[in-house]
Each structure stands twice: as structure tokens, then as C-alpha cells.
Amino acid sequence: METKKAPQKTETRFLLFPAEHSRGCEIGLHLPGSLQECGFNSSQPLVLIVHGWSVDGVLESWVHQLAAALRTRPVNVGLADWLPLAHNHYAIAVRNARRPQPAHPVALFQDSVDFSRSNVHLVGYSLGAHVSGFAGSYLGGRQKIGRITGLDAAGPLFEGTSPSERLSPDDAEFVDAIHTFTRQHIGLSVGIKHPVAHYDFYPNGGAFQPGCHLLDFYKHFTQHGLHAIPQTIKCAHERSVHLFIDSLLHEDMQSTSYQCGDMASFSRGLCLNCKKGRCNSLGYHVHQEPQAKSKSLFLVTRAQAPFRVYHYQFKIQFINQMEKPIKPTFTMSLLGTKEEMQQVPVMLSERITSNKTYSFLVTLELDIGEPVLLKLKWEHSTVWASVWNTMQAVIPWGGGSRSSSLRLRTIRAKAGETQQRMTFCLENKDDLFHPAQEKIFVRCEVNSKALKRKFR
């Protein structure tokens, strides 16, 4: 009498998420008719989610959040569930990632319903981003997968490797990547820092994200060692997923990113240029323009959804000679045609010296409309402000001391989202600026050609 063999455990399951199957409906070659039963619509594109390395062998909640957000679009939503291969020591999971799991359903769709690979979009998170890349490379040929999105593609064992050993622009017709946690920890970067796509987006510089607290990481690491890593890195690493979800749920609030060499230059407002494809939308609605060379784009985001902010470059020229460099603290209040923003910090990257123009970036969480007035305040400690005001009352300074005052007449601005250029002039003719003082600037007319040269 023959003994029945137990059914072999499937290494990777493929699920579809039609509206009536919020937890997923399994498809596969071993399930005849499953495409029809699971409601696959061959006239619509397929977006296949690919999760990453698993510590506990359970799908994370973001998978279903992303699936639900994608279902708001006219697409088939699927999942490559490779948990049996991902729930291992990280190095073993990396080795398993090289198996072309997501390529299998694509082949099934092609054979069963004559479905074009160009209609396939793989969305891979962390190690799943490289899994998606290997699948795209495996399929290859004359017709590539339409798109791969890498959500903070894993860094350990991939940083510094050749394109064939990781996600790369060659793996699909269009590849975009969002980098949110590339900061080094214990000698490793959680997310890969190196560009891996046609368009690589670095929100807030890509190293870390607002609202995620590094202090918790170090506190938990001292208590639990390596077991603390998965929980404490989750916020910044997973922010890539939530930025992508945000682009689906807030179509009227798309985040604009700008091509730039690094975050330091971007923080000076030097990169708010949208000419020749230098800016693009972050997330699902990215403009798909494959480039011969990877483009790195930067932006600032809020700490929670909706993540969009409004980027402005400001240029101030201080026209007096300084006896010694100073680095004052300024705040700016902006009045627009829609809203008003109060006490926005102004971050100068260098000390103020002699006659020179200083550029800086200001980001606003509200759409204030077209700016019409701004107030610049020279912030100082309460003690210093009190002493300064007393001295001003007692001693006639005349023209003012060079070491404790500044002269400025105009402020130039550029709005990143609208590409509009503006100039603000002093409301009155008193151009001497002292500590604890506030100056009011209003929109003024300038020569347009001269203004364009200033922002090149």
C-alpha cells in the first residue's frame, strides 16, 4: 500500500486583490481557472507588490494598506508572497531573493490571457525591490516589464555591487526608486544610497525622515541588541511605502522633486528648476521618462500624510561690509493670496561676511497662494534684545555699528511648484537691520531679464 505524500509547500504564493477579496485570492498554474475566479481583468495593467525580508514570517500591515490604495485605480492588484524564502537569516534571504519569483505570474498571464509585459508594474519594498529587479532581468528579452518601483531598496550586501547584482535601470522599461533610510548604522545602511533607477528620489536627503526618532533606536539597541533593529528602523525605512501610498490617496497634492547634486545644495534652494525634466512627481504618478543616466531628485516632506510641502528659494544680498563674520538667526512670515505663515525658520548655511548674496530654502506646509508680503525678523535671545534696545535708547548710534547691524534692500524669491519668480522691496527706505528687529518687504517690479539671470 502506497503512502500518500504530503503536498509540497509552495515557496511563493501569488494573490490578486479584487474588491471582494480584501485578503487576497490565490492564482497559479496549479490552480486552473484561478485568473477568472480571482477576477483578473486583462484589459487593465497589473501592479504586483513584492514584500521584503521578514523577521517574524508574517506579512506587514503596509502590504494591505498599499493594496487598498492601489485598488482606487483601474488596475489589477497582486502580491508576490515569498515569506517561506524571506523568513530566514538575512544573508540566506538575499540568496533566495535571486530566484525570479515575480516572473512566474507574468509568464502565466502571457500564456493564459495574452497579457503584455509592458502592462506589468512591480512595486518592491526593501529586499523586495531587488527581487523585482532580478525578476525583470530574468524575463528580459526584447519586451521588458513596463515599470519597477523600488521602495527603499535594501542596502546590506547590495551597496556598491554591480548593476547585475541589484535593482538597476536595465530591469524594466522604466525604473524609479525612493530612498528614505540610507544613514549608516552599525556599519551598514538599511536602504541603499547608490542610485539604482532612471529616477532616484531622496526625500529629506534620503538619510532619515522627519517624525522618526533615532533616540529610540539607540535605546532599544542597548537593551535588545540586533533584535531591536527591525522595530526601530521601521519608521524611516517604511516611510518610502507611505510616500507611495500618499501619492495614490492624495492625487491633488503630489510632491514635486527636483534634480540636484546633493541635499546641501538643495537646502540652499539652488535646485528648484523644472526645465529639461529636472523635476518630477514622487510616487505612483511619476513622469516616466527613461534616461541614459540616473537622475537624483530631492525634496522636503512633512512628518505625516499628506506629505507635500511647498518649496521656495530666497536670495538676500547684504550690502554692508562686516568687521567679522556673523551667523544671526532669522525667521520669516509670509502673507499670500490664500493663507499666511508665521515665524518660519530661515537656515543660512554659512556666516554673513561682506557684500554677498545668500541663498536658502524655505518650505511651507500650507499653500499660501501667491506671496505678496513678507516679514523678516532678526531673532535674538531675550537678554540680548533687551540690552540692544536699552543701548539704542541711551546712545545715538547714527549710522549704526557694522558689527551689530546689517543693510539689505531687496529679497528675491522663486516658487518651486509654480516656477514663479518674485522680488520683495523694503516697505520703507530704512535699510538698516538690527537684532530683535523686524523688517517688512512687499512685492515690487523689477527687470524680468535681470531677474531670470539671478536664478540661473
Cite the annotated binding site for Ca(2+) by residue number.
166, 171
Cα of 356 vs its chain's centroid, Å:
32
Cα of 12 vs its chain's centroid, Å:
30
Contact indicator for 412, 422 with CB cutoff of 8 Å? yes
From first CA to last CA, the distance across the chain in angstroms is 84
Contact indicator for 424, 374 with CB cutoff of 8 Å? yes
Nearest to 157 by CA among 199, 203, 188, 126: 188
What is each CA distance from 421 to 260, 373, 452, 454, in whole angstroms?
19, 14, 8, 10
Greatest extent of the chain over all pairs of C-alpha atoms, in Å: 112
Torsion, CA 35, CA 38, CA 43, CA 46, rounded to 10: -90
Amino acid at 80: A
Active site amino acids: 126, 152, 237
Residue 163 CB-half CA count within 13 A: 14
For the annotated binding site, the residues are 166, 171
Cα of 319 vs its chain's centroid, Å:
37
Phi then psi dihedrals of residue 303, to 5 deg = -80, -15
Query: What is the 8-class DSSP label of residue 7?
Result: P
> What nine digits make up the cell of 217?
533606536
